[in-house]
Structure 1
Amino acid sequence: MIQSHRPGGELAFLTPKGGLVRFAARFGPDGESAGHPGRPGRTVTLDGDRTVVQYRVAPGDRRALAALEREAAAAVALERRYGDMGFREVFTRVVGYDLDAPEPFVLYRPASGEPLAAYGGALGVRDQQRVAAQLVLAVRLMGAAGLVHRAIGPDTVRWDGAHVRIAEPYAALRAGEPREAFGAAPWASPEQRGGTGTADPRDDLWSVAHLLYYLVAGRPDRGAGPPADLAAFRGLTAFHDSGAFAPSAADRPTPVELMRFLRVPDPLTAATAEAAAANRSGSSGRTAAPGRTAGAGPAAEPGRPAGPGPGDHAGPLDPAGPLDPAGPLDPVGPGGAAYDRRIARKRADLGLDRPEPPPQEPGRQGRPPWWRLSGRRPAAPPPAPPAAPSPPAAEAASAERLCPHCLLPVAYDPSRLVTIDPKGDRVPLDVSGDLPPAHLRDLLRTAYQVCPYADGGTPHELPVPYLTNGRPLTIALVGSSGVGKTHLLAAMLAEVEQGSLEPYGLKCLPLNPDTHRAFLRERVHSLLQGRELGRTGQQTFARFADGLLVTGNGPARPVVFFDLAGEDLAQDGEVARFLTGVDAFVFVLDPLRALDLPSLDPVRERNGLRRRDLGDEAFTTVLNRIPRTWGPYVAAPAAIAVNKSDLVRVEPAVDRWLGRSLPPRFRPDEVRAESRDAHAFVSRHATAAWLRPFDDCARCTLHFVAATGGQARDDRFPHGVRPRRVLAPLLSIFAMCGLLPGVDHREAGI
């Protein structure tokens, strides 16, 4: 990749369809671009005869990079959806992008025409109508793709005498995302300027209405509501009558409704209607061009009230590229139906409509079925959280629990307590004296109990809080070496350390302060400082990486995380014996190994990886080893984390989730929607073997996550570490295990 100061060289980038291309490139000088403060733009000549416009961000500017990623995802979504259709020219067309370059960038075709700022009061009535119709069409198209442009104004919309072209989607948000304060009066709506509520395509209609007022009246309005002299301009009757100038988005028409006021045909409605008609007729041949009806003459130019005229060069919709009838909120299209069918099959197999689940299969070493992971039967009301007991009381109140290492029952025994000194030696701890309660609690907080079954070859001990609180929850991260398990766990615990679980009603303390500090120092801090973590070494005995004491629904429960080397998980040996006692699993899916997407080929080549049609070896080994204790399914709850999702961020199904923050409370319906999208996305681009955890586990959710937010180079992340949605799998596990207050654990994950 060439550097920004070089006048020429080579430029490599990904096209909107995901292919990698390389061109000889000559670079023009940097210049500020309208609407892009602080982001330089320049022309680039490719192979000597093709000119594009490049916008890039400086290394290390995380906020600018996040905005560029969002812009690239929006631009690619529009190009993929409408790039083969006649009305594509209303958008500035994206050419390519590289979000992992030293200076990440996006490329566009140069936009022709002049900004509408030059036409205030100077356009004829017919041109005003055409501008109005095409702008409303552009808003309609973006809304159908689930996007809100948010930057429509006289400086960002061009007119070439036949077509408008709105600027690059550098400020775009997904419809339904929280509004970010952006823009100024009168072009941005009051709600958008204030950053209140959620983004709505009708925000853009406000901008269009005020832009048309400027073109007709020759001056901008104040932007507080309908202009005082609005009724004096006949050319704005449709905007006046429809309520497009209403200060609240809820009081404005939808783009489709405003198109009816303007008497402009909606090509998307026509395309969907023709596709539905073709499906009903069972025809397998090509349909007529969307936007035309049988016996009709030539289709009207999209965005024009009447028939064709001189200078037209936008044709009808391409009949070979109809819109996906699934609509904007289903970016995976009909592929999500497979998820729906599988969930329905699971519910039928598991008898979830029956009042009581089937009994547990005998001989499971005391392991309760999934519906008792919360410590109560499904029909029982949740008990009131008791006060934290002292260790002797906890011993009497709690049954023996399994040692997570050797899977043998262990109870709290004050005579076997030790502390571990800085050299790693075990020092016996005597708590038999008459110690003050506060002193005793402080000693036990950092104490360990030697497991009575530990022998000389596998010495191990358990933190005392593991034995003196509620029933433990053990979680294992599963995946081959290099899929990012350690990075994901470190990113999860970094979020926990920053209090990100508190909005969900969860309080977290270290299970053992010394162990937790060591994990933070060796893993979490290193990751957050931008260093790539080394691979987890193989072990001869499974030990957990870190643990938490989590208080949520009921008494505090120990939660311990296992992060074993992929080689250990992929081998059916003794080190993996502990898996049969694990309570929950996070299966970490690596897109580089799973997904058949050309955009991933350069990364695979750089990392020496190949795609695997047979799935992840660790997934297979682990699932083959875990007993089926509830019909044909694994009882332990599971989550599939599609890690490194930043590599496929521009895919609409991925961007829909990775581009938004986790909600401040757990929403089962939203988790099901993400699981449906992720399942369909993986199904479309990978073999069925990669979804085996979903098929084998009774309850399983799927999530798009990014532990690092970028690719490492020379053992560092050049753009910093930007974890995204890493708590989503953990929250789902907690919900399925009854830890989240206010969530029905019986319905979570299925």
Structure 2
Amino acid sequence: MTHPRHPGDELSFLTHKGNLVRFAARFGPDHEPPGRPGRLARTVTLGVDWTVLQYRIAPGDPHAHGALEREAAAAVALERRYGHERFGEVFTRVVGYDLDAPEPFVLYRIADGEPLSSHGGALGVGEQQQVTAQLTLAVRLLEEAGLVHRAIGPDTVRWDGRHVRLAEPYAALRAREPREAFGAAPWASPEQRRGTGAADPRDDLWSVAQLVYFLVSGRPDQGAGPPADLADFRGLAALHRGGAFAPLAAGRPAPADLMRLLNVPDPLALSAGGPDPLGRGRDAYDAQIARKRAELGLDRPPPPEDPQDEGRQARRRWWPGRAPAARRPAPADTAPVALSPPAADTTSVERLCPHCLLPVAYDESLLVTIDPKGDRIPLDLSGDLPPAHREDVLRRAYQLCPYADEESLHELPVPYLTNGRPLTIALVGSSGAGKTHLLAAMLGEVEQGGLEPYGLKCLPLNPDTHRTFLRERVQHLLQGRQLGRTGQQAFARFADGLLVTGRGPTRPVVFFDLAGEDLAQDNEVARFLMGVDAFLFVLDPLRALRLPSLEPVRALDGVRRQDLGDEAFTTVLNRIPRTWGPYVAAPAAIAVNKSDLVRVEPAVDQWLGRALPPVYRADEARAESRDVHAFVARHATPAWLRPFDDCARCTLHFVAATGGQARDDRFPHGVRPRRVLAPLLSIFAMCGLLPGVDHGEAGI
């Protein structure tokens, strides 16, 4: 999408349906709206005489940008859900938005009426009842949309004599998200003011109760609990009896229950919110998971363990990516497969070289160091070195692969050969899908301790290589610079590696990031795929999704939608043998990258808008996978879900490596990674690395 650098003649934006529109525009003067730091407001006259209200932010403020994204997503969700209903008028109606403009903005209709702050003690009994009923209805509608408004007060609610209108959802949170401290007494609930617990629709009921008390009594309360003089006002009896003034959300009624107490009709009682547009996709996900579990024998309880029968236990044991090629699906009368990875192998002297797929044993006669020019210098450890010195030298050393020839010289970091069983992860996707940005964002989060809450400790596999990757990739990205595309290689080399300590011995984890052109060709460069332990498929929504909001970005980036799926996905999946019946045994994750481009879609926003939980839960990963599957199934062809269909265990995730679009090789609003560790955590869970996680429940 293109934008004028100095808007004054024209304004383009996306409607709530995702359509790009363009208007001649005249702009009014700026003012700073109260209670909205970082925002500027002005009127905009679109076309001849359609005047709307614009809220925009200046570039360079990640917090303000994130808040505007959240506001736009909430406003679009309400408009899509209730815009065609008469009762939808209780909300200020969104006109459009552009979150990637030089100054991102949201447009709204201008609401009629005056703020309720000018009506305290002045409304008649009938009007008070109307206001109470409509405010409670608004909270009920917000609850059904999964939102908490958090900014209901006398200055943010308007009354025109017939209707109330809530202000724009600039402070809205998804229900059950952690509360952020916001608002002042008495209008914000005590829990909301403190920012404790999770956002709850009943937070808004407190605000409604305090606002109605103000209208009836003519004065605000202290905001600590039920007002001391409630008994003096008969018009507040239902709110009082229902518990709307309770200081804790748990003590207040649900919005629908309060509506019954107030004798207010609930327009959602019969419709229950209407049909679920993603229902078919969610059902298809459930059916596919059930089919996989049945074919793998996981839908039957395991037989009693017999400690004496070690051979039988060994035959039941299965490790994704290393299962014998001759295996087939378990017949109906056989024991279920135990999805248990082996302990990291620290006794074997051999490791599989991830490049040539041949076993390599640790051999001090082949050790080298690599100088700044890239020359390999033989390393002699025959002298009498202090143990700490020797350990430090080996930490930075390499061992030449004995199978390498002059055309494919390669070496392995010594820690790769001297720790537990390595885990190799390949990022798969076409050129431009954002694999390199995603890997840089992931390792940037790891470098900042993002895996520590999950009981994982990470060190560089090789300090020099890791430092180079951080400097040339991660730091460039975090400085807002677009990374260059990965060049094609004549020989597959991994991009970076970690030593990860979690459950069991420390294990090397190495990441392969090949050019999309290399992955899409069935050649020798991609031969290493045969030995990869896990796959991260990076899905590009610009190529996959049939959404009108993506058309301007596709035109700007020169990208076309592809109904046949990702070429790299297809080539890789065709090459990997099915070592567990019809399925690829290696664990997999699908990351819908660039999800910020579709952030306003409710299914995306409810995941992308929340932080990762501090504890990995397989059921939550399954819930996200179900929603991602349903969303992609609705807006793309089945070819894009082939990794989920072909891999025995696969999770799906909404992620954003950069959080915005690049212009002139820079990200003008900064880089804001979102949930980039989610697919990595799922892979670690499936591979038995996460402490306290039942790996057999992850991904299936």
TM-score range, shorter chain: over 0.9
* 1:407/1:578 contact within 8 Å kept: yes
SS in 2 for 1:427: strand
> Which residue number in structure 2 is paired with residue 440 of structure 1?
390
* 2:341/2:687 contact within 8 Å kept: no
> Which residue number in structure 1 is paired with residue 221 of structure 2?
221
Q: Structure 2-normalised TM-score? A: 0.94
What is the identity, as a one-letter code, of the residue corresponding to 2:22?
R
* 2:40/2:56 contact within 8 Å kept: yes
SS in 2 for 1:36: coil
Task: State the Cα distance separating 1:366 from its structure 2 match.
Answer: 7.2
Task: State the Cα distance separating 1:747 from its structure 2 match.
Answer: 1.4
Q: 1:581 to 1:354 in 2, by over 3 A?
A: farther
> Which residue number in structure 1 is paired with residue 464 of structure 2?
514
Looking at structure 2, the residues matched to 609 and 187 of structure 1 have their Cα atoms a distance apart, in angstroms, of 49
> Which residue number in structure 2 is paired with residue 703 of structure 1?
653
Looking at structure 2, the residues matched to 325 and 404 of structure 1 have their Cα atoms a distance apart, in angstroms, of 49
Looking at structure 2, the residues matched to 462 and 205 of structure 1 have their Cα atoms a distance apart, in angstroms, of 61
Task: State the Cα distance separating 1:172 from its structure 2 match.
Answer: 0.1
- Which of 282, 288, 297 is residue 336 of structure 1 equivalent to? 282
Looking at structure 1, the residues matched to 592 and 565 of structure 2 have their Cα atoms a distance apart, in angstroms, of 13
- Which of 629, 640, 643 is residue 579 of structure 2 equivalent to? 629
- Which of 654, 661, 666 is residue 611 of structure 2 equivalent to? 661
Asked if 1:240 is matched to 2:240, the reply is yes
Task: State the Cα distance separating 1:433 from its structure 2 match.
Answer: 3.0
> Which residue number in structure 2 is paired with residue 54 of structure 1?
54
Task: State the Cα distance separating 1:676 from its structure 2 match.
Answer: 0.3
* 1:26/1:48 contact within 8 Å kept: no
Task: State the Cα distance separating 1:332 from its structure 2 match.
Answer: 3.4
> Which residue number in structure 2 is paired with residue 558 of structure 1?
508
Asked if 1:349 is matched to 2:295, the reply is yes
Asked if 1:195 is matched to 2:201, the reply is no
Looking at structure 1, the residues matched to 117 and 509 of structure 2 have their Cα atoms a distance apart, in angstroms, of 60
Looking at structure 2, the residues matched to 245 and 63 of structure 1 have their Cα atoms a distance apart, in angstroms, of 32
Looking at structure 2, the residues matched to 71 and 451 of structure 1 have their Cα atoms a distance apart, in angstroms, of 55
Looking at structure 2, the residues matched to 265 and 4 of structure 1 have their Cα atoms a distance apart, in angstroms, of 50
Asked if 1:428 is matched to 2:378, the reply is yes
Asked if 1:67 is matched to 2:17, the reply is no
* 1:360/1:368 contact within 8 Å kept: no
Task: State the Cα distance separating 1:34 from its structure 2 match.
Answer: 3.6
Task: State the Cα distance separating 1:248 from its structure 2 match.
Answer: 0.3
* 1:530/1:721 contact within 8 Å kept: yes
Task: State the Cα distance separating 1:643 from its structure 2 match.
Answer: 0.0
Looking at structure 1, the residues matched to 501 and 461 of structure 2 have their Cα atoms a distance apart, in angstroms, of 12
Task: State the Cα distance separating 1:378 from its structure 2 match.
Answer: 4.4
Q: 1:367 to 1:57 in 2, by over 3 A?
A: farther
Cα deviation, 1:710-734, whole Å, max 9, x if unaligned, reads 0000000000110000000000000
Looking at structure 1, the residues matched to 27 and 396 of structure 2 have their Cα atoms a distance apart, in angstroms, of 61
Task: State the Cα distance separating 1:365 from its structure 2 match.
Answer: 9.6
* 1:336/1:680 contact within 8 Å kept: yes
Map 1:13-412 onto structure 2 (within 5 A): 13-272=13-272, 323-326=273-276, 332-352=278-298, 353=300, 355=302, 378=338, 397-412=347-362
Task: State the Cα distance separating 1:430 from its structure 2 match.
Answer: 1.3
Q: 1:519 to 1:368 in 2, by over 3 A?
A: farther
Looking at structure 2, the residues matched to 365 and 120 of structure 1 have their Cα atoms a distance apart, in angstroms, of 73
> Which residue number in structure 1 is paired with residue 523 of structure 2?
573
Task: State the Cα distance separating 1:432 from its structure 2 match.
Answer: 2.6
Task: State the Cα distance separating 1:409 from its structure 2 match.
Answer: 0.5
Looking at structure 2, the residues matched to 534 and 464 of structure 1 have their Cα atoms a distance apart, in angstroms, of 30
Task: State the Cα distance separating 1:359 from its structure 2 match.
Answer: 7.4
Task: State the Cα distance separating 1:407 from its structure 2 match.
Answer: 0.2
Looking at structure 1, the residues matched to 685 and 187 of structure 2 have their Cα atoms a distance apart, in angstroms, of 44
Q: 1:548 to 1:216 in 2, by over 3 A?
A: same
What is the identity, as a one-letter code, of the residue corresponding to 2:117?
A
* 1:34/1:155 contact within 8 Å kept: no
> Which residue number in structure 2 is paired with residue 320 of structure 1?
none
* 1:190/1:224 contact within 8 Å kept: yes
SS in 2 for 1:33: coil
> Which residue number in structure 1 is paired with residue 452 of structure 2?
502
Map 1:439-478 onto structure 2 (within 5 A): 439-478=389-428
SS in 1 for 2:199: coil
Task: State the Cα distance separating 1:381 from its structure 2 match.
Answer: 11
Runs of 5+ in structure 1 lacking a partner? Answer: 273-322, 372-376, 386-393
> Which residue number in structure 2 is paired with residue 676 of structure 1?
626
Task: State the Cα distance separating 1:324 from its structure 2 match.
Answer: 2.6
> Which residue number in structure 1 is paired with residue 589 of structure 2?
639
Cα deviation, 1:174-216, whole Å, max 9, x if unaligned, reads 0000000000000000000000000000000000000000000
Runs of 5+ in structure 2 lacking a partner? Answer: 303-312, 330-336
Looking at structure 1, the residues matched to 274 and 469 of structure 2 have their Cα atoms a distance apart, in angstroms, of 47
* 1:360/1:369 contact within 8 Å kept: no
Looking at structure 2, the residues matched to 399 and 578 of structure 1 have their Cα atoms a distance apart, in angstroms, of 21
> Which residue number in structure 2 is paired with residue 482 of structure 1?
432
Looking at structure 2, the residues matched to 149 and 487 of structure 1 have their Cα atoms a distance apart, in angstroms, of 34
Asked if 1:713 is matched to 2:663, the reply is yes
SS in 1 for 2:9: strand
Q: 1:735 to 1:370 in 2, by over 3 A?
A: farther
What is the identity, as a one-letter code, of the residue corresponding to 2:203?
D
Q: 1:336 to 1:2 in 2, by over 3 A?
A: closer
SS in 1 for 2:416: helix
> Which residue number in structure 2 is paired with residue 529 of structure 1?
479
* 2:325/2:577 contact within 8 Å kept: no
Task: State the Cα distance separating 1:33 from its structure 2 match.
Answer: 1.9
Looking at structure 1, the residues matched to 126 and 552 of structure 2 have their Cα atoms a distance apart, in angstroms, of 50
* 2:339/2:696 contact within 8 Å kept: no
Looking at structure 2, the residues matched to 12 and 222 of structure 1 have their Cα atoms a distance apart, in angstroms, of 46
What is the identity, as a one-letter code, of the residue corresponding to 1:84?
H
Looking at structure 1, the residues matched to 541 and 628 of structure 2 have their Cα atoms a distance apart, in angstroms, of 12
Looking at structure 2, the residues matched to 525 and 20 of structure 1 have their Cα atoms a distance apart, in angstroms, of 34
Looking at structure 1, the residues matched to 222 and 587 of structure 2 have their Cα atoms a distance apart, in angstroms, of 56
> Which residue number in structure 1 is paired with residue 681 of structure 2?
731
What is the identity, as a one-letter code, of the residue corresponding to 1:52?
V
Cα deviation, 1:90-149, whole Å, max 9, x if unaligned, reads 000000000000000000000000000010000000110000000000000000000000
What is the identity, as a one-letter code, of the residue corresponding to 2:99?
L
SS in 2 for 1:45: strand
What is the identity, as a one-letter code, of the residue corresponding to 1:151?
A
- Which of 541, 559, 563 is residue 591 of structure 1 equivalent to? 541
Task: State the Cα distance separating 1:265 from its structure 2 match.
Answer: 1.2
Cα deviation, 1:476-504, whole Å, max 9, x if unaligned, reads 00000000000000000000000110000
* 1:531/1:716 contact within 8 Å kept: yes
What is the identity, as a one-letter code, of the residue corresponding to 1:538?
Q
> Which residue number in structure 1 is paired with residue 558 of structure 2?
608
Cα deviation, 1:188-246, whole Å, max 9, x if unaligned, reads 00000000000000000000000000000000000000000001101011100001000
Q: Structure 1-normalised TM-score? A: 0.88
Looking at structure 1, the residues matched to 340 and 12 of structure 2 have their Cα atoms a distance apart, in angstroms, of 61
What is the identity, as a one-letter code, of the residue corresponding to 2:10?
E
* 2:115/2:156 contact within 8 Å kept: yes
What is the identity, as a one-letter code, of the residue corresponding to 2:372?
P
SS in 2 for 1:677: helix
Give the count of matched residue pairs. 680
* 1:147/1:172 contact within 8 Å kept: yes
